[in-house]
Structure 1
């Protein structure tokens, strides 16, 4: 169950009330270093009684190859799949491996029972998405064939179980070409026993304007892949105004459109494993938010004796604090927001959920998922 801390609560009083040990509360909620409980803080309490079930919801998520192995080890036992970010490619279709060797992460995934998947991105030398690279591979058959052959060889040699295509800022005129590339990749991979997934920007209509959306055709990409991941996060983002990263009312708009175009059993709903800390007042083009982990957010609230609030529309926690005379606003995720997201994905009959990403600790979130799945 989930308990929200009230004024006067202590670890001892909560442990006595629910019949669990203080050590379990500390371990499951990663309260190490917390000087006191925070009013409004949501605690996961595993009592052996399940209150909400999401059946056998599939779980996936992304990691960089330079992830802390200890942090990744907390998430992996609760995951079915691990997407390893990422391989790039040249204009000739040659693969560019991650700067940090991916084999340790691949092996760690297999040991934990999670299938590793190679993530393909069109990154240029600066590490940014490059739509010229996209154009080269989707319009030039020779380059495309070379890239697909290299992907198959790498998947076989490194021990991956498939490829996740994560292309962004696709030009509108490449919309059909891009979907055809995904289909060609899938044909080769499926023939050799591997799968292909594709990450999709969060659209709410077929004709949605904007460089993130116009080159993404939900229907065609759904038809040409084995699985899609909806990137339902980043409403609140580094350069935007303070708000929830994945407000559930906004997420639902994307889901409502997606199920019109893609079979629900192919869809993973994206879930963020992070939040943002905005200095106030917010000034467009000037203010820059700091990325913050969910466990880190609670520690910050405790440090400044802030009360955590919960927005019932967005289904997301937030708080305010002051540092060096300047106000801050923080939005993050907790077990309440995760419970709402897992339940939402289940209500649509989706294949599962996919997390961005496993770089930051959030053991309570992974324990909650396994508990709701009955595992």
Structure 2
């Protein structure tokens, strides 16, 4: 494969002729829309018809039950695991089904493609946000923990899930050890029943890192308890934060290097974002709210606005600016260059694989690049 960066005056036909490639293939692989306009600085995936896959990795991708059926079916061939987002629970340990729709069709689809459906467990409160009081109640009560485990096993057997993913965030520092003990109990129970357990980890760079996202998670202990972990290496740039790369590779590398001092590489999946953000400017903390957009959508926006896409060589991420109706905007997203940088980290550190948050938007070039770089372990 090759990554081609669009230059001023380029056209799809001209690029295809220059590279000796099929123009329809370039259009298809990069999801270009008629009349196939390009943005200067846009990265195009060019399929040379060869594979550079070096080893098999595990690939997961979170999805809500309202995912478009065609998007899911296009994505499943590239996934080892499909974490269904998500199940909740009460303070007393009663399991709550997803509030976003039926999951049976997703599970059936996963089985058709040889992909393992995974039950994702999250402590969402009535407002739809992570609630650490729910965590506190369950992890500190053997009775509530046992009830939740009983509910989990019953649901997994009934629905056909093959594992559970524990995605607990904002855990209180005082609950750190109780949460670790909870994960041990879940993992041991699941292993006895033939299931596996994974844990999503906030992106720490040291054991003593302060902050509500980090203090409740003991990397070493959770890495020992779980069968594998997902490093949530994204959201440096986020909805209410200042404009910046969502997953700057220089920061992602720091997280990976710390994680490897606590957890074996064979247990670590690298988190990868499948989205970008559009921030109105000037940024004002507490007031400015970015709009989430897909990576293909971001490029189409750059084309529409006549914006040149630039590439930050430190973050290894693309971005552009534009003005609409008198308001300046800054957009950061992912393209095949930024994704290739993350795939290189997986290769360099021999990680278990990667996990996408989330697969709701179809980004064909990402999956083609992933397939070119790795064999996918089913």
- Normalising by the smaller structure, the TM-score range is over 0.9
Are the counterparts in 2 of residues 18 and 47 from structure 1 also a CA contact under 8 Å? no
Are the counterparts in 2 of residues 270 and 354 from structure 1 also a CA contact under 8 Å? yes
Cross-structure match for 2:235? 234
Note the C-alpha offset of 1:53.
4.3
Cross-structure match for 2:89? 89
Residues 239-263 of structure 1: CA deviation (Å, up to 9, x unaligned): 1111000000011111111001111
Are the counterparts in 2 of residues 169 and 215 from structure 1 also a CA contact under 8 Å? yes
Unaligned runs of 5+ in 1: none
Are the counterparts in 2 of residues 15 and 25 from structure 1 also a CA contact under 8 Å? yes
For 2:16 and 2:241, the matched residues in 1 are separated by 40
Note the C-alpha offset of 1:374.
4.9
Note the C-alpha offset of 1:266.
0.1
Alignment RMSD, CA only? Answer: 1.2
Note the C-alpha offset of 1:25.
1.1
Residues 9-54 of structure 1: CA deviation (Å, up to 9, x unaligned): 111112222333222111111112565111111111111134x545
Are the counterparts in 2 of residues 169 and 212 from structure 1 also a CA contact under 8 Å? yes
For 1:133 and 1:33, the matched residues in 2 are separated by 50
Cα distance change of structure 1 residues 54 and 277 upon mapping to structure 2, 3 Å threshold: farther
Residues 232-289 of structure 1: CA deviation (Å, up to 9, x unaligned): 0000011111100000001111111100111110000100000100111111111111
Are the counterparts in 2 of residues 170 and 214 from structure 1 also a CA contact under 8 Å? yes
Structure 1 residues 31-40 or 41-50, which shifts more? 31-40
Cross-structure match for 2:65? 65
Report SS of the residue matched to 2:261.
helix
For 1:276 and 1:228, the matched residues in 2 are separated by 26
Are the counterparts in 1 of residues 27 and 36 from structure 2 also a CA contact under 8 Å? no
Note the C-alpha offset of 1:110.
1.4
Report SS of the residue matched to 1:228.
strand
Report SS of the residue matched to 1:16.
helix
Residues 155-200 of structure 1: CA deviation (Å, up to 9, x unaligned): 1110111000000111111101101111101111111110000000
Q: How many residues align?
A: 374
Normalising by structure 1, report the TM-score: 0.97
Cross-structure match for 2:281? 280
Cross-structure match for 2:201? 200
For 2:97 and 2:375, the matched residues in 1 are separated by 37
Are the counterparts in 2 of residues 35 and 302 from structure 1 also a CA contact under 8 Å? no
Are the counterparts in 2 of residues 85 and 118 from structure 1 also a CA contact under 8 Å? yes
Normalising by structure 2, report the TM-score: 0.97
For 2:362 and 2:45, the matched residues in 1 are separated by 15
Are the counterparts in 1 of residues 89 and 123 from structure 2 also a CA contact under 8 Å? yes
Cross-structure match for 1:312? 313
